Amino acid sequence: MCGIVAAIAETNIVPTLIEGLNKLEYRGYDSAGIAIVNQDGVERYRALGRVSELEKKTQDLKATAGIAHTRWATHGVPSKRNAHPHVSGGVAVVHNGIIENYESLREELIAQGYVFESETDTETIAHLIELILKTESSLFEAVRQTTQKLVGAYAIAVIEESHPELIVVAREGSPLLLGVSESGIYAASDASALLQVTQQLIYLENGDIAQLKNNQFCITDQAGTPVAREIVVSQLSADAVDLGNYQHYMQKEIFEQPDALANTIEIVASSDQIHTQLFGAQAPQIFKEIDRILILACGTSNYAGQVAKYWLESIAKVPTSVEVASEYRYRTTVPNPRQLVVAISQSGETADTLAALRFAKSLGQEKTFAICNVPESAIVRECELRFITRAGPEIGVASTKAFTTQLAALFMLTLAVAKQRGVLFPAEEGQYLHELRHLPAAVIEVLKLENSIKVWAEKFSSKQDAIFLGRGRHYPIALEGALKLKEISYIHAEAYPAGELKHGPLALIDSEMPVVAIAPNDELLEKLKSNLQEVKARGGELFVFADQGSHITQSDEIHILYLPEHYGELSPILHTVALQLFAYHCALMKGNDVDKPRNLAKSVTVE
């Protein structure tokens, strides 16, 4: 997704802008650009492809005020012409989000004589500001008036040649924050871009417009009335995002899972009891009152929700539904004020999840709970209860440690809800917590299978398509395994509940259609074995992730990898780790850019 960095300081800000863009690379982008302003006017540099290309072009550039951007194409193809900043006269603008009325604005501006260089919606913003500046001397006022004409979501940063000492930023819908330090004032769409210079952050609210000048800032609402916004000290550390000895962030993040899980479950590390208050002071009361749970999430986070449905219904006995956020937000549903609405999001900024949460609240469903990896994010701020996973920053676009820590959090939530509702016996509680504490060690053992998984990936990476099968709480893991494979290796993969095989997908099975099966030694194993035979009988090749005690007969067509232990309710987490390694090595074999898969973004802050 697009990223913004802006800086105004006493010293040269160009290295800060470039470093900020580097930190935003993980969000996914296709081009990058910078504009600076000084006494000689505005200078703009843009490059298609990587930030490193832009860096080469700006090596000798020096300035004390500037804006920068990574673009993820929405309106118009990825190209230098469409890359931000967009300029009009002496105005330069970077923008995240989507301007929904850009076509009518564009027509009006063309009628006024403006010539468009790009296909972007952003260029309309630059021309609008330029138009207003013909009769208005204040850049802040011109930006404020422009925002009143925009419909949609935006975060913008603006510079202008006759105001070299000034940057104006504004937001509505898309995230934007300020960073404050003794030597400068900064703005960015994501805290990770600013941690290099400061940990003192101000999260702007919808409708906020801010002027950054002379080491000071002033924030107003859309009417121009000054508003006060709190400075928060970020808990994130700047060096948490270095690659270290790993080849890719995704690899680093897969191997960080034992630590990420240990950090996330630390809260229950030395106890045989789950304390419901760990989800918030109101949690005991709310968990007692609820009669249903509704989980809202997108992508991988949605699959975490789908696993949790199995846990919440079997252990906590609460009816649970899981909805894709982009569907829920536009659907007519039957609201239930006694329903706990759980929003799951690693970033906490996913536009659809945030909108679905707000929609759920607007229907009178006030009991809300966030599971998120970013404590300061919008979703966390808008929920009554929360649990912050402690995965650390996740840079690889394909989610790994954020997902497994979400699962750990959801398991703890299940236990807390079960306990509060009186359906969890003390012995069970102790046993589940014991299993949870064993999780980091169990994951370490799965990671040791990497070499065997690599051998499988060598066989697999030339395939065009694949089917993933799972049953019960491992069906969502089959979905996640297929998603991971397609995201980074570009192999077409579909997942099915194994029982559905004969209702359609079996027609696809031949020697060219490999089947990946998740076959833990659980109550559904025998059923799954029959499904595997159905595949074998049609000439399909099987890659089976089993575990201790699964006892499946190996043959030329059935390859089996045994996970070191059978792990009961938490088995989905172990199988996930194996499937992450599998997707990673398939993508490596194909020479793909694992951390930045084509067309995808880490944090999807537009609809």
Binding site for ligand G6P (CB under 6 A): 298-301, 345-347, 350, 353, 397-399, 600, 602-604
Buried b (16+ CB within 10 A) or exposed e, 40-52: eebbbbbbbebbe
- DSSP, collapsed to helix, strand or coil, labels residue 94 as strand
Helix axes 426-447, 401-420, angle to 10 degrees: 170
Whichever of 34 and 385 has its CB closer to ligand G6P, that residue is 385
**How near is the Cβ of 386 to ligand G6P at its closest, in Å?**
14
User: In this structure, are residues 95 and 2 in contact, taking their beta carbons and an 8 Å threshold?
Assistant: yes
**How near is the Cβ of 441 to ligand G6P at its closest, in Å?**
26
Whichever of 159 and 356 has its CB closer to ligand G6P, that residue is 356
**How near is the Cβ of 42 to ligand G6P at its closest, in Å?**
34
Q: Which residue of this chain has its Cβ atom nearest to ligand G6P in the complex?
A: 299
Burial of residue 130 (CB within 10 Å: 0-12, 13-18, 19+) is buried
**How near is the Cβ of 357 to ligand G6P at its closest, in Å?**
11
**How near is the Cβ of 39 to ligand G6P at its closest, in Å?**
42
What's the distance, CA 507 to chain centroid? 35
Whichever of 404 and 603 has its CB closer to ligand G6P, that residue is 603
**How near is the Cβ of 5 to ligand G6P at its closest, in Å?**
20
User: In this structure, are residues 96 and 49 in contact, taking their beta carbons and an 8 Å threshold?
Assistant: no
Whichever of 121 and 595 has its CB closer to ligand G6P, that residue is 595
Amino acid 112 reads Q
Q: How far is CA 349 from CA 18, 42, 154, 238, 264, in A?
A: 23, 32, 13, 20, 20
Provide the β-strand partners of residue 185: 8, 180
> What span, in angstroms and rounded, lies between the C-alpha atoms of 63 and 606?
31
> What span, in angstroms and rounded, lies between the C-alpha atoms of 444 and 578?
11
**3-state SS of the chain: helix, strand, coil percent to 5?**
40, 25, 35
Whichever of 104 and 235 has its CB closer to ligand G6P, that residue is 235
Whichever of 101 and 592 has its CB closer to ligand G6P, that residue is 592
Whichever of 347 and 550 has its CB closer to ligand G6P, that residue is 347
**How near is the Cβ of 393 to ligand G6P at its closest, in Å?**
12
Measured CA angle at 265 (ends 568, 294), to 5 deg: 70
Which positions are annotated as active-site residues?
2, 602
**How near is the Cβ of 325 to ligand G6P at its closest, in Å?**
8
**How near is the Cβ of 391 to ligand G6P at its closest, in Å?**
11
Instruction: Say which residues have a Cβ less than 8 Å from residue 217's Cβ, sequence separation at least 6.
Output: 178, 180, 185, 202, 210, 211
> What span, in angstroms and rounded, lies between the C-alpha atoms of 117 and 124?
10
- DSSP, collapsed to helix, strand or coil, labels residue 576 as helix
Torsion on CA atoms 264, 265, 270, 276, rounded to nearest 10: 110
**How near is the Cβ of 97 to ligand G6P at its closest, in Å?**
16
User: In this structure, are residues 373 and 347 in contact, taking their beta carbons and an 8 Å threshold?
Assistant: yes
- DSSP, collapsed to helix, strand or coil, labels residue 245 as coil
Whichever of 483 and 515 has its CB closer to ligand G6P, that residue is 483
Torsion on CA atoms 254, 259, 260, 263, rounded to nearest 10: 170
Buried b (16+ CB within 10 A) or exposed e, 374-383: bbbbbbbebb
Evaluated on CA atoms 348, 350, 351, 356, the torsion sign reads negative
> What span, in angstroms and rounded, lies between the C-alpha atoms of 19 and 194?
9
> What span, in angstroms and rounded, lies between the C-alpha atoms of 440 and 47?
43
β-pair type (320-324, 292-297) = parallel
Query: Which phi and psi (to 5°) does residue 266 adopt?
Result: -50, -35
Provide the β-strand partners of residue 469: 496, 517
Whichever of 28 and 514 has its CB closer to ligand G6P, that residue is 28
**How near is the Cβ of 45 to ligand G6P at its closest, in Å?**
28
Evaluated on CA atoms 193, 199, 205, 208, the torsion sign reads negative
